[in-house]
Structure 1
Amino acid sequence: MSRFGRDRRLLKTDEFSSVFNFRCSVRGEFLQVLGKRNDLSQARLGIVVSKKLAKQAVRRNTMKRLVRETFRLNDGELAGLDVIVWPRQAFGHEEAAVVRAEMLELFRRIRRKCRASSSP
């Protein structure tokens, strides 16, 4: 079982900014996923959930937990990418299956799009 350690997270403002500035993005009903190639053998994840979207901390944490767990179980297909997941619509346990399926599809699309756009 793989853990979600610090080496698999985007931690610094500069790391987040470089992904936001690269502008490689795909969007679904619940989520927007931004990506950028990194020079590592593994994928790294950043999550942005605003208070405007989900006022209660427990709701924001539930959303982040679902995103982290889905990423952790499927990060092999994103190796070499920095990814930011940005919820565009609040969701909870009720929509978990739909959000997971959307996230996996967005991961496939962002992998293709970022690798194509970063090639010379």
Structure 2
Amino acid sequence: MTSNRFPRHARVRARPDFDRIFQHGRRVALPVLALHWQSGDGEPRLGLAVSRKVDSHAVGRNRIKRALREYFRHIRGELAPGDYVVVARPGAARRSGAELVEALQGLLRRAGALPAPAAVGTMPPAPPSSPSTPDIRTG
């Protein structure tokens, strides 16, 4: 069972790591968030970049980081191995925590790091047809 903790080794913290991911990683973006990621061998790691241009108040920047970090902590076991850096854009300050999580989830799916959800429908799946069932037309 995977722990839901968010230990230090699950964080991108050093500037050279951020620089490497920005230079050599792949990127997908929305008006609210940008995701830079680089596949790797170890467990998924998260780095966050929320500048004063996003929100001039530390409280607002910390709210954004807290929402994204909490979501990442819960889905870390489902993600592909690699380093993920989320860059908040100025529109993020006007979004709720749920909207930020939804944006990050969409970016991770677009990046191929998070599997698509199972299709939900009202009909049960059709059973496979068996070859031993007699055909009514030839019967």
Measure the CA separation in 1 of the matches of 2:16 and 2:112: 21
Larger Rg: 2
How many residues are matched? Answer: 110
- Deviation at 1:69? 0.4
Task: Return the structure number with greater helix share.
Answer: 1
Alignment of 1:35 with 2:34, yes or no, is no
SS in 2 for 1:19: helix
Contact 1:43 1:80 in 2 (8 A): yes
What residue number does 1:76 align with?
77
Q: Return the TM-score normalized by structure 2.
A: 0.73
What residue number does 1:111 align with?
112
Q: Which amino acid aligns with 1:62?
A: R
What residue number does 2:96 align with?
95
Contact 1:78 1:111 in 2 (8 A): no
Alignment of 1:52 with 2:53, yes or no, is yes
- Deviation at 1:91? 2.6
Q: Percent identity?
A: 34
SS in 1 for 2:12: coil
- Deviation at 1:79? 3.1
In angstroms, what is the RMSD of aligned CA positions?
A: 1.6
Deviations 1:64-106 (A, max 9, x none): 00110011111123231100001112336x6222221111111
Deviations 1:17-55 (A, max 9, x none): 111011401112311010001221x10000001112210
Q: Return the TM-score normalized by structure 1.
A: 0.83
Alignment of 1:17 with 2:13, yes or no, is no
What residue number does 2:119 align with?
none
Measure the CA separation in 2 of the matches of 1:73 and 1:97: 14
Contact 1:34 1:110 in 2 (8 A): no
Change (3 A) 1:23 1:36: closer
Relative contact order higher in (CA < 8 Å, ≥ 6 apart): 1
